[in-house]
Structure 1
Amino acid sequence: MSETAGYADRRLGRIRPLGLQRELLQIAAMLTMLIDHIGAVLFPEQPELRIVGRLSFPFYAFGIVQGYLLSGNVKAYMKRIALLAVISELPYVLAFGVWEINALGTLFICLTTLFVMDRIRFLIGKLLIAGAAIACLAWVPADYGFYAAVLILIYRYAQAHAAIVFHCLLNTYYGLSQGAQIQHFSILSTVWLAAGPNVRFSGRPVPRWLWLSFYPLHLTLLVVIKRLFF
């Protein structure tokens, strides 16, 4: 079956967002991430901002899977993500004060994992690559770490509604092992992606430059604001 066969294949990553057009997905991802990072960088005493922010990473993870499956040139797509990850690293370190791989770098590792897995014929080989990626991200300091790898695999391979169940299980394990109970709120994004209403977006498409530059750009602006006013 073709990777772009559409709704006949119910695996979540192989269909376009159910009831969530591409433009609306991008807007939701950017806004919730901005709210999350405003809370983390400028107002850490406001947990409600971080709660809203839990919705952002699943949107970006899903977008990465969609980009991988629907891109006409996967290698060029991977190069763009890698370049953005490198550009974003310094603003990320300055914004959060941690020496670790930023979220785009983590997503690039996950993207590379999908690329390698799809070039291995045997299931055992695919499982070994997936396991190695999860173990690597559990060991190497990286934003979202192994959580990102597992969520990407869920979006790539799980049936649409099964993805909700698997994401719930992932959140439960992550909450218990990392003490990040707030991550449970992220399930709302997967519910929206897999079973959300048929929302239609009638506005203008998100400019490509804005979508590509938003992560490093908003982090840089937050660093400047923090240094000047906080």
Structure 2
Amino acid sequence: MYWLAMLTMLIDHVGLVFFPTDPAWRIAGRLAFPIYAYALYMGYTRTRNMRSYMLAFDVHRPNVIWTLLASLLALAAASRMKHWVAVSGLYVLTALFMELSQMDYGAYGLLLVLIYRYTRSYMMIAVHFVLNVVYDMVHHANIQHFSLLSSILIVCFATGESGFYRRVPRWLWRSFYPVHLAVIALIRIWP
């Protein structure tokens, strides 16, 4: 599944840079973020060393790395809180911060991570569908509905039993985002 996330992110970014008027590239890219959000949650549940888990780099606008980092920090902080009111308040403040700072996906990104945190099986798909409907109503982004396919794949294949869920080498998983963006940038500016 992580291979699919990397491939669809690459397709999305190639389309954004080289074929901006063709929506098919962006549709394929809608599969990537939910898988990354799920991977973030799964990584969070399986690590004991938060310092070694966090990685972000400076950009001019808060990109998806910042969205995932803010979501991870919210999960970590919430796990230290005892009362559901405090946890809810933390999530609301984090969502507002993400929206006001104009992070990629904004509150949608955090809510999707929370869907993976608090729901299972077909409920995950249903709540993700509702999130997409609300997001579409607010942002007029019907392309986001294609992201639901990722949650369906996660529900069907997240057991690790399938060959579809093969592990990506850690070095490749961590370096893919900055490396593929650098390659796209070099291709774009090459004379």
Gaps of 5+ in 1: 1-24, 90-98
Secondary structure at the aligned position of 1:120 is classed as: coil
Kindly provide the CA deviation profile for residues 71-91 of structure 1, in whole angstroms up to 9, marking residues without a partner as x: 13223212xx2xxx215x2xx
Aligned-residue CA RMSD (Å): 1.8
Conserved? CA contact 1:101–1:142, under 8 Å: yes
Secondary structure at the aligned position of 2:190 is classed as: helix
Conserved? CA contact 1:161–1:195, under 8 Å: no
Secondary structure at the aligned position of 1:86 is classed as: coil
Residue identity matched to 1:200:
G
- From 71, 78, 84, the equivalent of 1:110 is 71
Residue 145 of structure 2 aligns with which residue?
184
- From 82, 92, 95, the equivalent of 1:131 is 92
Cα drift, residue 105 of structure 1:
1.2
Alpha-carbon distance in structure 2 between the residues aligned to 1:169 and 1:109: 22
Residue identity matched to 1:128:
G
Say whether 1:44 aligns with 2:20.
yes
Residue 72 of structure 1 aligns with which residue?
48
Residue 222 of structure 1 aligns with which residue?
184
Residue 57 of structure 2 aligns with which residue?
86
Say whether 1:143 aligns with 2:104.
yes
Structure 1 vs Structure 2: percent identity of aligned residues?
38
Number of equivalent positions: 189
Gaps of 5+ in 2: none
Kindly provide the CA deviation profile for residues 31-78 of structure 1, in whole angstroms up to 9, marking residues without a partner as x: 000001000111112211111110000000000001000113223212
Structure 1 segments of 4+ aligned residues over 6 angstroms from their partners: none
Say whether 1:175 aligns with 2:146.
no
CA separation of 1:214/1:117 partners in 2, compared to 1, >3 Å: closer, same or farther?
Answer: same
